[in-house]
Structure 1
Amino acid sequence: MNRLLTNAQIVLDDRVIAGSVSIDGNAISTVLDAKADQSGFDCEGDFLLPGLIDIHTDNLEVHVHPRPTVQWPEMLAAVIGHDWQVLGSGITTVFDSVSIGDFHSGGKRSAMLDKAIGAIEQARSAGVLKVDHFLHLRCELCDPNVMSVVERHIDNPAVRLVSMMDHTPGQRQWHDTVRFREMYKKKGVRIWTDEEFESDMTIWRKQQAKIVPGHRATLRKLCEARGIPMASHDDTTVADVDEARDDGILISEFPTTVAAAERARAVGMKNVMGSPNIILGGSHSGNVSAAHLSDLGLLDMLTSDYVPGSLLHAAFKIANGGVELAKAIAMVTSTPAELLHLTDRGRIAEGLRADLLRVRLVDGVPVIKNVWVAGRQYM
């Protein structure tokens, strides 16, 4: 099916032009730097963007566990609800983040893993997914059983990103153990006496020293053999970043300090931050703000983390803060596409997938009017 989208402000990878885009089947056939002569779908002067690419979202968990004590009984229904929500947020390619291994979470995330992956495959086979779904395996290296689960899923062709995490208290995100204890108390997970906590810390440190280096080395080999990109997680120090770079990692996911983000940039890594951080004006965990990294020129990508609708909003908010719109939109389109080897999407250019968004600003807030996924119109 051929379609002409006209009278649009087209956000290219390096500039914004007034013009028209034609779609032939599932691909973009022409991009015109002018209003088309013939009639077509009138975008009414709205922005036309590439479809968003989200490399980390926990949103499926929200549909599986809508309340802390509730598990939705039908996993397929949860996947379909998640799919519609990310579509409505302008995300046309999503990396569903599934956690392998746990640190003190009662095993809830690991318990849903196989069912979630199975339901995504079921929905894909049934042809009911609207957006393109890939898998981001979030691997908790301090879990003794993590590698046995990784080996069960690493050859799934949907796996396109693996991140290495270590949530052992006393380092990275939880270098402040007082804050760690307060968070677990607030969530009702655990309250320690000082003596109990010191005892547990001794156990955790010993386990970390015993198993994390081996898990890291094994996971690196598995990913390198399959050409799967890797990300670090919660880099806090220069040493954290150097360790990641030595492992061939090119993405620093959620660096917690300016020092870590600066080092990542210096050694050729890309910094990715959560878009809720931009909207909220800071990290809910008390770490460095994404806006501050943007002001320093250290922010490369955004990911929705736990609020799909924040991804588009954050990109426009960054643009309002002084970053060129094309550069801000690249943080959620062409940059993730390039890093994760999605060479057929991420930009509005001839021959690429027709993943497109029509967006109108309403009192400064981006509102999605239409979405096209591989040339098919939704909304």
Structure 2
Amino acid sequence: MTHLDLTGAEVLLPGGLRVQTVSFAQGIMQAEQVGRIVDLTGFLVLPGIIDLHGDAFERHLAPRRGAMKQMNEGLIAAEAELAANGITTAVLAQFVSWEGGLRGLDFADQVFGAIRATAPDVVTDLRAQLRFETHMLDLYAELPDRIRQWGLSYVVFNDHLPHDRLAAGKTPKRMVGQALKAGRNPDVHLAMMQDMHARRGEVPAALDALCAILAEAGVQMGSHDDQTIEDRAIWRGRGVRVAEFPETQAAAEAAHAAGDAVVMGAPNVVRGGSHNGNLSAVDLIAMGMCDALASDYHYPSPRRAALMLADTGLCDLAAAWHLVSAGPAKVLGLADRGTLAPGMRADMVILHKDSRRVAATLAGGQFSYLSGEIAERFIG
């Protein structure tokens, strides 16, 4: 395994950037120099990005319907994209949803199996998250066993049923296209949605029981798109302590006040707001109520968001980068990563100082990405 001393670079420490030697051996950060010296003058060395929720890997698994038959190869392509964007730990968020198709149970079973099979052969630490649609009542009995078989430690609950339109007796928007993508007759698909909506009164008790089982098994749980203080209180009562992408300031404030982790989307920062008009991540960060930023649907966004936050002066670089490194590590309970302190995993991203583009990424002391001029410095 690589033993290197990186000199000349500006290194991101809790107090900010400072020219300092970075040493690592056997995949662990070291306090003293240990090996071959590599001059990285003109570069920045920062902790590796920890992405605790992203689904951009989907396009690598199925770039066109039916086009990808070897899912493992799709995951390897996704890992290459993650590494090129400085991500050293990635939580791949896979739906199990009534929508079917790429979000159906059968596809999820294949994805989770492929992640378990592929993860040992790649450098980036790949982990899986289940995003479960709460109104799929017929799956509740078997779900704990499936989660155990899939080897999952993180489950997030969603409800994307268009309840307002269903309650009004209207056909949901894009329903026909959605049904056809799932391989269902549109009438059958609509009847399924109507039935789930009609049984919505059974969901709270079913969730209470399911969350109790998962909590007992040590599974971390999150809720998606909380809207109200009451929503967050109910989820917290079930042991669901991560609030992913709360839609309102009230829900985010309630989560923060109770010590629940608040996760927002990095694209929200890059775009200057939510793509669907929900709570602004920048506003929440300014109020000190955001614990971590996730890629959501765009892997370049965590790096870009952190740099933008520092450039605008909303927070310094150390605080901004914390949102994509040590912050996510804390949310996930990964005490061995997130900073460049001695004893931590040697996870780091090296940026060109001027362009701040990714030049190299190392996870556990191994290169997952290396491109351009910097390669000559390491190889020469």
Which residue identity lines up with residue 348 of structure 1 in the other structure?
A: L
CA distance in 2, matches of 1:131, 1:16: 25
Q: In the alignment, does 2:95 pair up with 1:99?
A: yes
Which residue identity lines up with residue 139 of structure 1 in the other structure?
A: F
Q: In the alignment, does 2:52 pair up with 1:55?
A: yes
CA distance in 2, matches of 1:107, 1:39: 47
Runs of 4+ in 1 over 6 A off after TM superposition: 174-177, 198-202
Task: Spell out the pairing of 1:149-298 with structure 2 (5 A cutoff).
Answer: 150-156=143-149, 158-170=151-163, 181=172, 184=174, 188-189=177-178, 203-210=195-202, 212-298=203-289
CA distance in 1, matches of 2:74, 2:90: 15
Shift of 1:323: 1.0
Which residue identity lines up with residue 144 of structure 2 in the other structure?
A: E
Task: Spell out the pairing of 1:302-313 with structure 2 (5 A cutoff).
Answer: 302-313=293-304
Which residue identity lines up with residue 163 of structure 1 in the other structure?
A: V
Which residue identity lines up with residue 308 of structure 1 in the other structure?
A: Y
Cα distance change, pair 266–181 in 1 and its aligned pair in 2 (3 A): same
CA distance in 1, matches of 2:102, 2:76: 24
Secondary structure of the corresponding residue to residue 189 of structure 1: helix
8 Å CA contact 1:56–1:303 kept in 2: the answer is yes
- CA-based RMSD of the aligned residues comes to 3.1
Shift of 1:71: 4.2
Shift of 1:231: 0.9
Secondary structure of the corresponding residue to residue 55 of structure 1: strand
2:83 corresponds to which residue? 87
Which residue identity lines up with residue 128 of structure 2 in the other structure?
A: L
Which residue identity lines up with residue 166 of structure 1 in the other structure?
A: D
Shift of 1:298: 2.2
8 Å CA contact 1:164–1:216 kept in 2: the answer is no
8 Å CA contact 1:168–1:208 kept in 2: the answer is no
1:76 corresponds to which residue? 72
8 Å CA contact 1:14–1:327 kept in 2: the answer is no
Structure 1 vs Structure 2: percent identity of aligned residues? 30
CA distance in 1, matches of 2:149, 2:126: 13
- Among 347, 352, 355, the alignment partner of 2:344 is 352
CA distance in 1, matches of 2:239, 2:46: 32
Cα distance change, pair 269–176 in 1 and its aligned pair in 2 (3 A): farther
CA distance in 2, matches of 1:18, 1:263: 40
Q: In the alignment, does 2:133 pair up with 1:144?
A: no
Secondary structure of the corresponding residue to residue 148 of structure 2: coil
8 Å CA contact 2:136–2:196 kept in 1: the answer is no
CA distance in 2, matches of 1:93, 1:352: 14
1:374 corresponds to which residue? 364
1:193 corresponds to which residue? none
Secondary structure of the corresponding residue to residue 227 of structure 1: coil
8 Å CA contact 2:4–2:36 kept in 1: the answer is no
Deviation digits for residues 344-378 of structure 1, max 9, x if unmatched?
Answer: 11111111110111112545xx3111111111124
CA distance in 2, matches of 1:104, 1:112: 12
CA distance in 1, matches of 2:273, 2:91: 24
Shift of 1:12: 2.4
Aligned length: 359
Shift of 1:144: 2.2
Shift of 1:244: 1.6
CA distance in 1, matches of 2:21, 2:357: 20
Which residue identity lines up with residue 217 of structure 1 in the other structure?
A: D
Moved more, 273-282 or 10-19: 10-19
Unpaired stretches in structure 1, ≥5 consecutive residues: 191-197
CA distance in 1, matches of 2:83, 2:167: 38
Task: Spell out the pairing of 1:8-23 with structure 2 (5 A cutoff).
Answer: 8-23=9-24
8 Å CA contact 2:75–2:115 kept in 1: the answer is yes
Cα distance change, pair 303–146 in 1 and its aligned pair in 2 (3 A): farther
8 Å CA contact 2:95–2:103 kept in 1: the answer is no
8 Å CA contact 1:134–1:158 kept in 2: the answer is no
CA distance in 2, matches of 1:276, 1:336: 16
8 Å CA contact 1:142–1:167 kept in 2: the answer is no
Deviation digits for residues 256-301 of structure 1, max 9, x if unmatched?
Answer: 1111111111111121111111112222222122122223332221
2:374 corresponds to which residue? none
Unpaired stretches in structure 2, ≥5 consecutive residues: 180-189, 371-380
Shift of 1:105: 4.7
Cα distance change, pair 6–169 in 1 and its aligned pair in 2 (3 A): same
CA distance in 1, matches of 2:201, 2:49: 39
| TM-score (norm: length of structure 1) | 0.85
